[in-house]
Every structure is written in C-alpha cells, then in structure tokens.
C-alpha cells in the first residue's frame, strides 16, 4: 500500500502535468489559428483585391487558386496573367506574408500583372476532394507527378479560359519550378501556352543539398511507417500544428529563442542563400502539408543526382524516364 505522502505528491504532479499540457495545447491551438490567417483576409488587409477560385481536377481533388487581378489602383488595361507556384510544404501565402513592397504577389500586381497563385493538392488551402475523405490513405496517395502533370496543366487551362488570353507567364520557386519543368517536358504542347517562365531556386538536381531532410532521407521511411501504423496519419508532417507553433516561437523576433531561428532554416533548407532577417515570416508558413510520396521523390533525386519520375521500386532508375530541363540565357547590357 502506497504511503499517503507519496500518493499526494503523485496526485499533485499529475494535476500540474495535466494543466501544463492543457495550457500548451490551448496555446498551440490559439497560435496556429492566428497564424493561419486566410489569404483573402491577409491580402485585403493591405488594400488589394482578392479572389478565391476552386478547381476540381480530373482525379477529383479540389484546388484553391488565389487571384489578385490588379494592384491597389485599378488602372491597368488588360493586365497580363501570371501563375505563381510555391515551394514544398508551403502555399500561396508564401508570396504574400510580408510587406507589399517586398513580396512578389503584391509587387507583380502593382506592375500590371493579373496574379494567380496555385495551392498544391494536400496543402492547407487545397485539402479537399469530391471522392476521398481527407484523413484517408487514398486521399494522400499522390506525389510530385500528379501535381506537375494533372494540377498544373488544368490550372493553366483554367486561367486561360477565365482571362481569354492565349498564354500566360509563370514564376515558380523550388518545387513549384520543378513541377513546371516536369509539365513542359512531359506535355510539350503546353510550351505554347507559356509566354515566359522565371524559376527561382528550382529543385532539380538536389544531390548537393545540405538540408537535413535530404541528407537523412532514408529515415523518412521509418517516420512514415510510424505515422501510418501507430497514429493512422497519412499526411506528411505529423503533428503539423505543433511544428508550426514551435517554428513561430523559435523565430519570433521578440522571443527569447530568436537567435536559434537560423538553425531551423539550416535544418530544412541547408546553410546557403537564406535571408535570416525575414525567415520569421516564412517560419509561420512552412508546414502547409503534403504527401509522403512527394517528399520521398525529393529523396530519390538526392540519392540519384538526377531529375526523374518516381521510382516505385526498381533497383536502377530508367534513364529513358529522366526529365532533361532546358534553359535559355539572356544577356543584359
């Protein structure tokens, strides 16, 4: 029989632990709700027009596309349509989270562009389907190729149909840029629908990346097994709300842990080419979610040093399925 003193201590410990976990959970919930300010609210707060469009793909995923049809002053006649493609785990908000004079979504709108911002299937804005429940395994059974070869062409056709233009511009970062190249390589007819493309840090040959997810990519298989088997979660980034909360706390400019924020950037993206002065803006928007296969595809690129379609199990990658990006260089005098 336990001594009364020990029982009292255990009871007090249990109460304090429960209260601590409850308080932490409430803080996580409140913080994430605040951080996930919807794009329409975010854009409107800066005085820009904003629209939400929803497109159902041929395989029944519902994509959310945000549109800023013009700048603050509606003085542009027939603004030029441009599609912005975001990077891995992010969303359209990645082009909009900071001051309007610094972020492309606003800058392009103010310079005469009709700005369209796609959200990849499975992220916070495009987490919907007319066929599958979003918590089910079939919903998350997609990868890079579906986003490049199904979502991108249908969004491009949608924009052309809405605007009446024959072609559009494209600007993509990281995964958004590589999806664009995959599209034009596999569906070359879409080259005629693109006036020009700007690719920022395209994730093509990633074998030299120092980012932790690439260097230790084989560990992702164990992470996926634990997530699916124990927690029955098929979405990548298990405990996404907690990760978003932790990133916000770590990178808040006024927080005590701000000096450690660069560590987060180094872990996720590698050491080079990071602007740590604005990283705290992105820290609130880097866990929008995606599928395990999309991350596994990046890991295959890192191991092979090639830009290729997903390998479902063959020992050697079929060279005939390697995408070969092409680039044009313009010299400015």
User: 230: helix, coil or strand?
Assistant: coil
Tell me what pLDDT residue 303 has.
Answer: 82
pLDDT at 170 over 90: yes
Banded model confidence at residue 301, pLDDT cuts 50, 70, 90: confident
User: 115: helix, coil or strand?
Assistant: strand
Q: Which whole number is the average pLDDT over 211-235?
A: 58
pLDDT at 225 over 90: no
Give residue for tokens 């997530």. Answer: 227
- Could you give the CA distance from residue 183 to residue 168 in angstroms, rounded to a whole number? 15
- Could you give the CA distance from residue 333 to residue 331 in angstroms, rounded to a whole number? 6
What would the pLDDT profile of 6-63 be if each residue is shown by its tens digit?
556 555 655 555 555 445 555 555 655 555 667 898 899 999 999 999 999 999 999 9
pLDDT at 320 over 50: no
The predicted model scores a pTM of 0.79
Query: Token pair of 4, please?
Result: 């009364």
DSSP secondary structure letter of residue 285: T
What would the pLDDT profile of 74-122 be if each residue is shown by its tens digit?
766 789 999 999 988 788 988 998 789 988 999 999 999 999 999 999 9
pLDDT at 157 over 70: yes
Contacts of 56 (CB under 8 A, 6+ apart): 62, 63, 130
Banded model confidence at residue 148, pLDDT cuts 50, 70, 90: very high
Query: Token pair of 59, please?
Result: 């395989």
Tell me what pLDDT residue 88 has.
Answer: 83
All domains of the chain in start order, with CATH: 39-205 (3.40.50.1820)
């Amino acid at each position: 029989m336990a001594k009364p003193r020990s029982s009292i201590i255990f009871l007090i410990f249990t109460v304090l632990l429960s209260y601590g976990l409850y308080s932490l959970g409430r803080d996580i919930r409140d913080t994430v709700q605040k951080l996930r300010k919807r794009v329409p609210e975010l854009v409107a707060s800066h005085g820009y027009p904003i629209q939400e469009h929803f497109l159902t793909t041929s395989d029944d995923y519902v994509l959310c596309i945000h549109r800023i049809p013009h700048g603050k002053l509606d003085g542009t006649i027939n603004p030029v349509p441009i599609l912005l493609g975001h990077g891995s785990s992010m969303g359209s908000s990645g082009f909009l989270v900071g001051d309007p004079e610094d972020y492309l979504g606003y800058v392009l709108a103010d310079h005469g562009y009709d700005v369209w911002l796609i959200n990849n299937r499975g992220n916070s804005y495009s987490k919907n389907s007319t066929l599958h429940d979003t918590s089910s395994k079939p919903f998350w059974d997609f990868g890079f190729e579906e986003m490049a070869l199904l979502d991108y062409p249908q969004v491009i056709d949608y924009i052309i149909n809405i605007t009446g233009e024959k072609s559009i511009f494209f600007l993509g970062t990281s995964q958004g840029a590589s999806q664009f190249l995959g599209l034009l390589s596999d569906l070359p007819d879409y080259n005629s629908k693109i006036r020009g493309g700007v690719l920022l840090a395209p994730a093509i040959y990633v074998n030299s990346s120092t980012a932790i997810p690439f260097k230790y990519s084989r560990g992702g298989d164990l992470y996926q097994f634990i997530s699916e088997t124990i927690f029955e979660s098929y979405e990548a980034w298990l405990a996404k709300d907690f990760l978003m909360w932790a990133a916000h706390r770590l990178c808040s400019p006024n927080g005590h842990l701000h000096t450690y924020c660069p560590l987060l950037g180094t872990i996720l993206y590698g050491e080079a080419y990071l602007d740590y002065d604005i990283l705290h803006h992105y820290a609130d928007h880097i866990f929008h979610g995606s599928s395990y296969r999309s991350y596994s595809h990046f890991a295959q690129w890192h191991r092979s040093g090639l830009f290729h379609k997903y390998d479902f199990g063959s020992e050697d990658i079929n060279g005939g399925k390697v995408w070969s990006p092409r680039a044009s260089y313009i010299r400015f005098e």
